Chain A
Amino acid sequence: MLAIKNVNTFYGQIHALKNVSLHLSRGEIVTLIGANGAGKTTLINTISGITPPRSGNIIFDGLPITSFPPHRIVELGICQVPEGRQIFKTLSVQENLELGAYLHLRHRGGSKIYRKTVEEIFELFPVLRERRKQPAGTLSGGEQQMLAISRALMAHPKLMLLDEPSMGLAPLIVKEIFAVIEELARRGGTTILLVEQNAKAALKIADRGYVLETGKVILEGSAAELEENKEVKRAYLGRDRKEIWER
């Protein structure tokens, strides 16, 4: 559904993505693994149009979207859940969700869709129903992440770009959030591109993954293969740290 070919993205002089190619099939969970600064977030921002690439092609459902502005890309069904949640802290939970639904609310009959979607989201995250009147800033970290994901879901995305959803969260909450992500793909059919520092957790729910290193893809494979790859283990899974070259 998404095919990226030879994308090059720059921050001023810095060449952040170097001929990166990647694809996602419908309903797949694909994870990007890599150290800080490898280009994971840049890739997500490049897809969503926030930092457009200098060259390369991004094709979504057969449509070239490479030079589209972010709002057009959202309209096509690609939603980003940014790193650090970025929810509107002074607004209530409900208001945050309304903002996520602006695409539907603009249209006639949109409020009906909105109410239905909100109901579905409260089913998914019951705690948000309890807190719906509260300012979002008063939520716990985990609840804020749930809200950030929910806000993206309000737009009924075909493809969700998740940037570090586990950041700063307690292991139990991470587990809960990852279970929801898996559910979205497996039952909801949403395609998911997942950037994670917690490679171990990400590989557990992913179908496939790409390993990025200094802006380049150095490995592509099934989640099982990447989990078994010693280089991935050593660098990103925190196992087998000792490096011995015997030649």
Chain B
Amino acid sequence: MKIWDPLHECMPREDIEQLQLERLQATLNRVYKNVVHYRKIFNEISFVPEDFQSIEDLKKLPFTTHEDLESNYPYGMFAVPLREVVRIHSAPGTSMKPIVVGYTKNDIRTWANLVARFMVAAGVDRDDVVQISFLYGLQTGAFGLHYGAEAIGASVIPTSTGNTEKQVMIMQDYRSTVLVCTPSYALKIAAFMEEQNINPHGLALRLGLFGGEPWSEAKREEIENRLGISATDNYGISEIIGPGIAGECACKSGLHLFEDAFYPEIIDPETKRVLPPGSMGELVLTTLTREAFPLIRYRTGDITRLNYSPCDCGRTLVRMEKPSGRTDDMLIVKGVNVFPSQIREIISSITGEQPAFQIVVDHRPTLDQVELQIEITEKIFALELNEQRQLLDFLKKRIFSVVGLTTTLRLVEPGSLSRESKQVRHIWPDNSV
């Protein structure tokens, strides 16, 4: 099994800790100097970065939350002047404004090398033809994966998302060997090929690198069987860097977290206490090498656990379990992150009212379907049919443009959604509706 960066992926624990301490100290000195937000919150607790002596001291520092990033919109959290930023991406916020994330030239290079690590770990090499079916745009996914595959020297096909027929045609004709997309899209491709009587074993496809949304072992088995490939998981969040935080090796027993670049902690989301190694809790990350957008103790909202035992592949990096849930009500549908609060804000900005609503996610079809149910109000009821349709169309477009999600809309009777009912309802395959 090949290793992209053996120096950093196979370091003895003692050396990793020394490097983490050095990089933490440097990062803290830099954010204190360059980021107003951190200077303020450090001053509030009378913490001076030059007093930082051990990784243990990190526990004394405040967390960085999603709200901190939102209130510093757009450039408040940048640690370098904008002219040193060569790329700007964004992550969804809980309101209509996104979170803005910057990268310096070095950040982009670091990113490529981190992605290359898990790609090589999954078995990708320079002879591969890598088809990237993530959306190229404001989101981080496609670009990070693209750079990683290029760094390895593979041939990259930036197919972006959509148009399954064309995706499959490219896969057949260009002889793609690696598919990079969300796990649910992989299943959609599988379903399309079955429909068209295309034998997946007749393709050159051998590996699938899936991420962007949580997926189960059962789903892995299904994808592997239906596409005839080996499927691995990788983890990333846009606020930190995008893909390239952690990824599975061929052992498929946890995602190696790149500890020389990100320092992980697991906390109890309620008490906010750091939990002992091996406990299940919320993942908190501190960046160790980011130049433009360093974050200290960022609460990811993802529930997972860390396994420090050595892996058969030879990497010494800690392994994180597939995230098994969220601490907040964020939804991940088709690789898109959605906060119900975003939907609430869009509805009220367009209707001028705050009707009760529910987001219904139907997991039964291959690709999750989202229906937004809104209680009809007197104002909407009084509209002419034509105007009502226009309103709904507008709402749909607005949701797509802000959140990036296609939904169907349904007006329901007033009072049919009780105020107490959850904002999100899931329909799983084995549930009765």
Contact = CB atoms under 8 A, between A and B. Distances in A.
A binds B: yes
Interface of A: 3, 5-6, 18-23, 210-211, 213, 215-221, 225, 228-231, 243-247
A190 B110 CA distance: 29
Interface string B1-28: 0000000000000010011011101100
Given A21-B22, A23-B18, A247-B75, A216 B50 contact: yes
B105 A228 contact: yes
A20 B51 CA distance: 10
Given A228-B105, A229-B291, A218 B22 contact: no
A244 B81 contact: yes
Given A18-B50, A221-B106, A221-B289, A230 B84 contact: yes
B42 interface: no
Nearest to A229: B106
Q: Which 3 A-B pairs have the closest CB atoms?
A: A18-B50, A230-B84, A246-B82
A32 B369 CA distance: 56
Contact of A247 (B30, B78, B106): B78
A3 B80 CA distance: 30
Contact of B81 (A18, A19, A213, A246): A246
Contacts of A221: 106, 289
B18 A19 contact: no
From A19, A219, A246, name the one whose CB has the most chain B CB atoms within 10 angstroms: A19
Contacts of B82: 245-247
Contacts of A6: 53-54
A23 B33 CA distance: 24
22 contacts: A3-B18, A19-B52, A21-B21, A21-B22, A23-B18, A23-B19, A215-B50, A216-B29, A217-B22, A217-B29, A219-B30, A220-B26, A221-B289, A228-B109, A230-B80, A230-B81, A230-B104, A244-B83, A246-B81, A246-B82, A247-B76, A247-B81
B325 interface: no
B23 A220 contact: yes
Given A216-B49, A221-B106, A23 B22 contact: yes
A218 B50 CA distance: 10
A90 B310 CA distance: 60
Given A6-B54, A210-B26, A221-B289, 8 more contacts: A21-B21, A21-B22, A23-B18, A213-B29, A216-B49, A220-B23, A229-B291, A231-B80
Contacts of B83: 244, 246
Contacts of A211: 26
Contacts of A23: 15, 18-19, 22
B433 to A, nearest CB: 50
Interface string B96-114: 0000000011100110000
A19 B57 CA distance: 13
Nearest to B21: A21
Given A216-B50, A218-B30, A244-B81, A21 B18 contact: yes
Contacts of B29: 213, 216-218
A229 B51 CA distance: 25
Nearest to A18: B50
Contacts of B18: 3, 5, 21, 23
Interface in B383-422: none
Contacts of B106: 221, 225, 228-229
A217 B81 contact: no
Contacts of A18: 50
Contact of B51 (A19, A22, A215, A217): A19
Contacts of B53: 6, 19
Contacts of A228: 104-106, 109
Given A221-B289, A246-B81, A246-B82, A22 B22 contact: yes
From B25, B53, B109, name the one whose CB has the most chain A CB atoms within 10 angstroms: B25
Contact of A245 (B15, B33, B81): B81
A18 B48 CA distance: 11
Contacts of A220: 22-23, 26
Nearest to B83: A244
Nearest to B20: A21
B26 A219 contact: yes
Contacts of B30: 218-219
Interface in B45-63: 49-54
A242 to B, nearest CB: 9
A243 B83 CA distance: 9
B85 to A, nearest CB: 10
A228 B103 CA distance: 13
Nearest to B105: A228
Nearest to B52: A19
Contacts of B26: 210-211, 217-220
Nearest to B36: A247
A150 to B, nearest CB: 32
A247 B26 CA distance: 24
A174 to B, nearest CB: 27
Contacts of A225: 106, 109-110
B301 to A, nearest CB: 27
Contacts of B15: 23
Nearest to B30: A218
B10 to A, nearest CB: 13
A230 to B, nearest CB: 4
Nearest to A217: B26
Contacts of B25: 19-21, 216-217
Contacts of A219: 26, 30
Contacts of B51: 19
Nearest to B33: A218
A223 B33 CA distance: 23
A48 B90 CA distance: 48
B60 to A, nearest CB: 15
B50 A5 contact: no
A230 B105 CA distance: 9
Contacts of A218: 26, 29-30, 33
